[in-house]
Structure 1
Amino acid sequence: MATPATAAPPAAVSTRRMWAILGLVLLADALDMIDATVTNLAAPTITAELHGGEGLIKWLGSAYMLAMGVLLVVGGRLGDKYGQRRLFLIGMSGFTIASAVAGLSPHPALLILARAAQGAFGALLIPQGMAIMTKTFSRDMLTKAFAMFGPLLGAASVGGPILAGFVIDADLAGLSWRPIFLVNLVLGALGLILAVRLLPHDDGDASTVVDGAGSGLLAATMVGLLFGLVEGSSNGWTALPVLSIAAGLAFLAAFARRQATAADPLLKPSLLRNRGFSSGLLTGLVVFAATTGLVYVLSLFMQQGLHASARDASLGLLPMTVGIIVAAAACMALIKKLGRTLVFLGLAVILVGCGWLLVLVATSGTSLSLWALAPAVFLTGLGMGACYGTIFDVAIGDIAPGEAGSASGSLSAVQQLAAGIGSAAVTSIFFQSAASGFGPAMTTSLIVVVALTALTVPAVALMPRRAPEELQH
């Protein structure tokens, strides 16, 4: 996780209160990561009950991640302008209400809108916690806080689907999948109570500029590309999806021009001219897209190809969660010594794990057991944890201190956008190949994931050798 720019000296806050604020920020970030991935496993059940088809499966995750990624940098700027405490409360309130709408949705369209609203309010919520900690925590406490984020968020990213599996199987009050969203009413209310009591008051800086035009162009870019991808793979490559993708590319060109000419761009042009940062940005984009898509189709393969229940499929993903936690925790201690070598190692382990899965699926197809998949799934999780904990930390290793805040927000936004693109793209490939059976569909998906991951290896060689000093605990 990239660290924000250094702020003013911390205000006088007791150690006990700093720990309480850290717990609140971790709760908010865990809510985001769990809800970003919870539909990975729940999608087949939701689609069957709401009769949404393949399009709903693809948009359940993509709508959330699209809204989050597009608005994440803007959310940080709005916090600077109007005050982090105010934006945190707005974000947590909106996220909780949107979760209630998602849990009670009777129709696929309303559920997708609610998922987008979750992502949008999450984008207002998440940047504020990091900014508040930077302003109020001592340097020693910040170091401890950063050390806790990697393992926790790595666990939450795969823990969401596991939680969904158990909740669906329990069928609480006959509500099937709905409690996976409704539980946020309790957690969100708790977060609001703690935020009102704990977060320091701040007025913000009215002079802060928010690039609305750039944000709009970025939103149009992602909507055009993702809608075209999902629509084309679901309903055929007619004029509509082709024109949508073309429009997305045109908006992307306009966004790039805007960033080069705007007085206060969302992404500073100097960052893109930094070879190490750009290489890390590209590596993160591809790796997060490929691995997010992999988790999605792996859960689909387990349920639809191996006929595992939601609970059994969640147990099938448990080794991946363990691998992510173990690797992310280990990398916190190793990043000072190894730097970008950890990224190389992570990619290598992902390739070996996915290659192992590919051999298993190609030779045994849908006659596999979840136990047979477990070692390869665990190994893949180890590689994912190593990459999740290091790519973006190393990417900002040689940028100027004054650009750290912009770089951190940009990398976090790219992570969310990559997850949305990956879940839509790899799932589309899976369903396009499913006409020949779920075994061939999984095989094709794994080949794509392996190819994408392998393509990032040369880019890692261009990344900085070391992470910034403040991350080298």
Structure 2
Amino acid sequence: MSTTGVASAEAPTDSPAPYRWRWAALFVILAAEVMDLLDAVVTNIAGPSMRADLGGGASTLQWLAAAYTLSMAVGLVTGGRLGDIHGRRRMFLVGAAGFTVGSLLCAISASPEMLIGARIVQGLFGAVMLPQGLGMIKEMFPPQESQKAFGLFGPVMGLSAVCGPVLAGWLVDADYFGTGWRMIFLINLPLGAAAFLGALRYLPRGRSEHRPRLDIPGMLLVSLAALLIIFPLVQGREYDWPVWTFAMMAASVAVFAAFAWYEARRSRAGRDPLVVPSLFRKRGFSGGMTLGLVFFSTMQGFMLVFNLYTQIGLGYSPLKAGLVMVPWSGGMIVGFGIAQGVARFGRAVLQAGALVMAVGVFGVWLTLDMVGSGVGPWQLLPSLLLTGIGMGLLMAPFFDIVLSSVEQHETGSASGTMTAMQQLGGAFGVAVLGTAFFGLLGGGIATAVDHHSAGLRGRLTAAHVAPATQDRLVADLRTCASDRAVAKDPAATPASCGRLAKDTRSAVTSPQAAARIPGALEATASSAFRSGFGSVMKTVLWIVDGMLALTFLLAFLLPRHARPDGAGGH
């Protein structure tokens, strides 16, 4: 899934009146943001329907999401710079048109390969479209309005994260006009057309006075470096983290170092770099990149594991799992509103948000600990609402503080770099917390089966199953439940489960036992599954709170305010 933020900058004292259509333009930019956020997550829900229709193996499902994430991450830095060169409005229009065409290609795909290729098209044009909004908002809004403008991105991100899975599940189930999963891409056509026409009407036509040249060697270096780091992060768990994934990540560090050296050399020579080195001499920007990497890792990782827990561990439907997160999104809106009233406190608002969010995550832990595997949506509501409020408080001042010091000629470079950082953070969080979750899950469920084994043995004894056979069935169930929980292909039956079925048939000695033994095994597996997921989720929540504590500490790298007086300047 990808995310972006917005920048603000102090308008010159002799600047003209603010751009007349700035609020309408903001909603055009937000519409593009929504398209990206929705398309980043919809294939997670609709993937099984796509696979059933088009064919393909388990890896097909992974590549439907990975193709989009990888292509966008590779193109973001270059996409931001293209706005400086050819004009941000023009590049936004190109990106919106290409993204819409890519959506149409997805909708008419006749094979898995065509669909994956169309997802790459979506990602590349999304990388051109998304960074342009940052520079335009920077130009359109005066300092006193900037925080309100970019603060809207937080609630939009939250609502899109919730609505994406809900919308995808609804559209696939509704099967409008017999389109099935294709409607999740067809819905982008009116959205994309509206964004394109709105951009034509409302986006400013401004262009940088100095039109830099595109840094082709820098573009190739940063694209290679992004691919080398994002690919293993996105796909590493699916391949069980072989040595080459770590080799790729190590190589990415070397390529990023070569890219930094080349950009500094190019800048000293008086030529236009792809990423302006002076950006990283600004305290707000360099500190914000570090903090943002940790925070977006935390946010995306938490969303992943919580959705896995509700859908797999608690057995919620995609629609119900999405609705459970509504308080979280509502809390973001509340937090954004509170942040507007206390904006003068600058960095302290961000730090308060990190603390409130950490308390909310601890509230989720406490709820799971007190209620257990029977937890319901209403019981999770207070803690998720508090988590959302904290996130709204955190995000409202974040981009203003980080990007307010960015000068006009640095905007495209800063926009692409910041957006790429968010993509990298999201991929890192999904990789780290997803790997931790599944790494703990097998053992957690096996332990839960052990805790339930006494009751299972009692029911098997009542069904006249011999003790030796009971031992075999308990061991089989332990392995099967663990293997099924961590299986990469949910549609495949693990070999251990086949062995359990075979041993179950051998244990049946009467018609009465034929009914009681499978029922006892199924009931035990279900209880162990839920309690095992719950115990692992609680462990991961401690990791999330640790990452939020680190976010709080890293905030000290930022200046106290976006501007020295809290209202203007930097």
Which SS does the other structure have where 1:382 is aligned?
helix
Letter of the structure 1 residue corresponding to residue 80 of structure 2 = G
How far apart, in 2, do the equivalents of 1:356 and 1:40 lie? 27
Is the alpha carbon distance of 1:63 and 1:103 closer, same or farther for their aligned partners in structure 2, counting shifts above 3 Å? same
Q: Which amino acid aligns with 1:242?
A: F
CA contact 1:429–1:444 (8 Å) conserved in 2: no
Match of 1:376 in 2: 383
Letter in 1 for 2:440: S
Aligned residue number for residue 557 of structure 2: 462
RMSD: 3.6
Between 1 and 2, higher relative CO (CA 8 Å, sep ≥ 6) is seen in: 1
Q: Report Cα offsets for 1:304-331 as digits up to 9, x if no partner.
A: 1111111111111111111111112321
Q: Which moved more, 1:169-178 or 1:75-84?
A: 169-178
Matched position secondary structure for 2:557? coil
Q: Using the TM superposition, give the Cα deviation of residue 188 of structure 1 relative to its aligned residue in structure 2, in angstroms.
A: 1.0
Query: Secondary structure at the residue paired with 1:390?
Result: helix
Aligned residue in 2 for 1:425? 432
1:333 corresponds to: 341
In 2, Cα distance between equivalents of 1:49 and 1:448: 39
Greater displacement, 6-15 / 286-295 = 6-15
Cα deviation digits, residues 372-420 of structure 1 (max 9, x gap): 2222222221222222222222234666776566445432332232123
Shift of 1:469: 7.2
Change (3 A) 1:133 1:327: closer
Which position in structure 2 is the counterpart of 1:220? 224
Q: Is the 8 A contact 1:357 1:376 kept in 2?
A: yes
Taking the aligned partners of 2:298 and 2:553, their CA distance within structure 1 comes to 16
Show CA shifts across 1:20-53 (max 9, x none): 4343233223323333344565567667777777
Deviates more, 1:193-202 or 1:426-435: 193-202
- Residue pair 2:73, 2:226 contacting (<8 A) in 1 also: no
Maintained 8 Å contact 1:10/1:138: no
Pick closer, same or farther for the CA change 1:315–1:366 going to 2, 3 Å: same
1:43-442 pair list within 5 angstroms? 60-105=64-109, 110-132=114-136, 145-146=149-150, 148-199=152-203, 207-263=211-267, 264-335=272-343, 337-361=344-368, 366-396=373-403, 406-436=413-443, 437=445, 438-442=533-537
Aligned counterparts of 1:427 and 1:110: Cα–Cα separation in 2: 28
Q: Residues of 1 paired with 2:57 and 2:367: CA distance?
A: 29
Query: Structure 1: which 5+ runs fail to align?
Result: none
Corresponding residue number in structure 1 for 2:32: 28
What is the CA-CA distance between 1:85 and the residue it aligns to?
Answer: 3.3
Q: Structure 1 residues 276, 208: closer, same or farther in 2, change over 3 A?
A: closer
Deviations 1:287-310, CA, capped at 9 Å, x for gaps: 111111211221122111111111
User: Structure 1 residue 157: deviation in Å?
Assistant: 4.0
| Whole-angstrom distance in 2 between the partners of 1:338 and 1:140 | 14
Query: How far is the alpha carbon of 1:101 from its aligned partner?
Result: 2.9
What is the alpha-carbon distance in structure 1 between the residues aligned to residue 117 and residue 111 of structure 2? 10
Cα-to-partner distance string for 1:147-200 (whole Å, 9 max, x where unaligned): 644444443344333433433443434544432222001111222333344556
- Paired residues in the alignment total 471
TM-score by length of 2: 0.71
Residue 5 of structure 1: how far off its partner (Å): 5.2
| Greater displacement, 424-433 / 369-378 | 424-433
Sort the Cα spacing of 1:353 and 1:126 in 2 relative to 1 into closer, same or farther, 3 A: same
Distance in 2, matches of 1:315 and 1:363, equals 22
CA distance in 2 between counterparts of 1:142 and 1:291 reads 23
Q: Does the alignment pair 1:453 with 2:457? A: no
Cα separation, 2, equivalents of 1:2 and 1:471: 18
Q: Aligned to 2:85, what secondary structure does the other structure show? A: helix
Q: Which amino acid aligns with 1:447?
A: W
Rounded to whole Å, the distance in 2 between the matches of 1:14 and 1:411 is 24
**Distance apart, 1:10 and its partner CA:** 7.7
Question: Could you tell me how far apart the structure 2 residues matched to 1:132 and 1:103 are?
Answer: 31
Stretch moving more, 294-303 or 30-39: 30-39
Q: Deviations over 1:424-449 (max 9, x none)?
A: 43223333333234334433432332
Alignment of 1:2-13 (within 5 A): 2-4=6-8
AA partner of residue 219 (structure 2): S
Residue 459 (structure 1) shift: 1.5
**Higher mean Cα deviation, 48-57 or 423-432?**
48-57
Q: For structure 1, which segment, 287-296 or 387-396, has the greater mean C-alpha deviation from structure 2 after superposition?
A: 387-396
Give the AA of the match of 1:183.
Answer: I
User: Are the counterparts in 2 of residues 394 and 464 from structure 1 also a CA contact under 8 Å?
Assistant: yes
**Residue identity opposite 2:123 in structure 1:** G
Give the stretch that moved more between structures: 454-463 or 33-42.
33-42
Give the Cα separation in 1 of the matches to 2:394 and 2:148.
Answer: 20
Change over 3 Å in CA distance of 1:401–1:191 after alignment to 2: closer
Structure 1 residues 410 and 351: CA distance shift in structure 2, 3 A? same
Residue type at the aligned position of 2:249:
I
Supply the distance in 2 between the matched residues of 1:333 and 1:423 (Cα, whole angstroms).
33
Report sequence identity in percent: 38
Bigger radius of gyration among the two? 2
